[in-house]
Amino acid sequence: MAGQYGGQQIVIIDPSKERTRGRDALSMNIDAAKAVSNIVKTTLGPKGMDKMLVNQIGDIVLTNDGATILKEMAIEHPTAKMIVEVARTQEKIAGDGTTSAVILAGTLLENARDLVDIGVHPAIIVKGYRLAAQKAISLFEDFAISVTADDKEILNKIAKTSITGKAIEAHGDFLSSICVDAVLAIRGNGSINIDDNILIIQDSGSKIDETELVEGVVLNKWRLLQNMPSRIENAKIALIDTPLDLGKTFNKSKVQIQSADDMIAFVEQEESYFKNMVDAIVKSGANVVLCSKNIDDPALHYLQKNNIYATRRVKDNEMKNISRATGARIIRNVHEIEANDLGSAGLVEQIGASEVGKTYIKECTNAKSVTIIVRGATDHVTDNIERSLDDALRVVKNVIEDGTIVPGGGASEIDVALGLRAYAASVGGREQMAISAFADAIEAIPKALATNAGYDSIDMILDMRAKHSNMKNAGLNVFTGEIEDMLENGIVDSLRVKTQAIKSASEAATMVLRIDDVLRAQRQDMQDVKREHNIHNYDGMSAPLLENRR
């Protein structure tokens, strides 16, 4: 880019850099957003298709979860990355509805292009979209139905709706009840922390219907010595966050042993060190030791002699979960351990043979942490189940915290779209065109549901609109192709999922619409160097010899 000043040309932007302006920039950005939207659109709903994602080393992921698909893709276009961020935000705040949010964002931009083509300025569209987003959220809230956290039937329905359409929907009733029980088990007076209080571990090689919920913690660990007890009732648990070993000195040190007596004294001193540590644990009353660091063999020997169940290298998040479940304090100085630092559990036992067994810590009084053991035939199956359960857990959490649901099957979107069109007429001006375009974008969700189920989307939308006046909760039953009452059918969604999708998608769309100039710096490669001077060709840490220069 250049300008004239005093007859002299001034270069402001390097002409070798790529620049896209005006209508071309807007069209390019909208195309990128629409491309991302089209990738995930076919996964929406109970009849949605799955995607196979293959990474650089050949590992595959089979899923129809929008957030997972976009996270695993190597997306480089800046606007496409903004749409991916919509999915991340949706996943973080609402836990589900990522595909809907991305479809909505892409359709909002596509509809905006149609308005720009007929002469509506992007600033007017942005203003109309913001008005429409505020009104849409208000309409969703008005359409919502209040429920109580004690209504397990509704909670099961919300979890099953989330699971339906995924590969595990045949086990929907069973898995949804596990999700509801897990969330209710950790429910406190405030918000529900699923990330910290619900531990999900996988156990492939079994049947899906063998998935279980343990009110406590299950570790992929086993007792360290065969002669240790495999079952401890009325367990007193010590959580130790320090190694039970001799440790290493900060500086190099040597021990000079000049005779057999010196050797015996050294060994006795070492044994005394370990014995004192274990004696402190025994004195506290602990009969289970879970250590986040290493436990040396001499310490294991003394633990075994005192009939203490022990395992090591327990992960930090697992230590915290055990602490919440049992009431144990995490100890960093073994010699200061006391009885009131210990946690309690009705039973600690190893199930399964060593090297493949698991440590169960259960029958915990008022456990604030629970574990879901996901079982399936293969690792791919258990991975898919875990992703599905994560979504279901989060929508149940939303309903318990918010106390509201909305009918699914596109019923709430149709109601809000109708409300927006009525609102547009009251606004007037060109903004009403943007509000109507926003309403059309919201209907893209039920359209995608119908298309993915093999039905004509236009016919279904018209049918839903026509029946909505007499049947407020009218939505599409994708299994029968009929327009039915979604609330009676038990097809319900979380209100938070719907409102957050509106917020995320509308904000992303307005950000893109405000861009009229895209400046991209060219990628420059490193300067060529001689092969022998390339660091990757060095042998060890020695640099290549250079020729002598006079």
Using one digit for the tens of pLDDT, what is the confidence trace for 151-191?
899 999 999 998 887 777 888 899 999 999 999 988 876 67
> What residue segments make up the domains of the chain, in order of their start?
23-146+407-518, 216-366
Q: How many CB atoms lie within 10 A of CB 479?
A: 11
Q: Domain 216-366 is in which class?
A: alpha beta
Q: pTM value?
A: 0.79
- 23-146+407-518 fold: GROEL; domain 1 (1.10.560)
> In the predicted model, is pLDDT for residue 248 greater than 60?
no
| Res 192: pLDDT | 85
Identify which has the larger pLDDT, 416 or 23: 416
3-state secondary structure of 359: strand
For the record, the structure tokens of 363 come out as 């029958």
Q: CB neighbours of 69 closer than 8 A, spacing ≥ 6? A: 39, 40, 43, 51, 53, 63
Buried b (16+ CB within 10 A) or exposed e, 119-138: ebebebbbbbbbbbbebbbe
Using the predicted structure, report yes or no on whether residue 424 has a pLDDT greater than 70. yes
CA 11 to chain centre: 47
Q: How confident is the model over 81-99, as a mean pLDDT? A: 88
pLDDT band at 363 (very low <50, low <70, confident <90, very high): confident
Token match 């089979």: residue? 62
What is the Cα–Cα distance from 490 to 160, expressed in whole angstroms?
9
Give the active site residues.
65, 98-99, 391
Instruction: Quickly list DSSP for 116-141.
Output: HHTT--HHHHHHHHHHHHHHHHHHHH
Please state, in angstroms and rounded to a whole number, the distance separating the CA atoms of residues 218 and 349: 10
C-alpha span between 290 and 315 (Å, rounded): 10
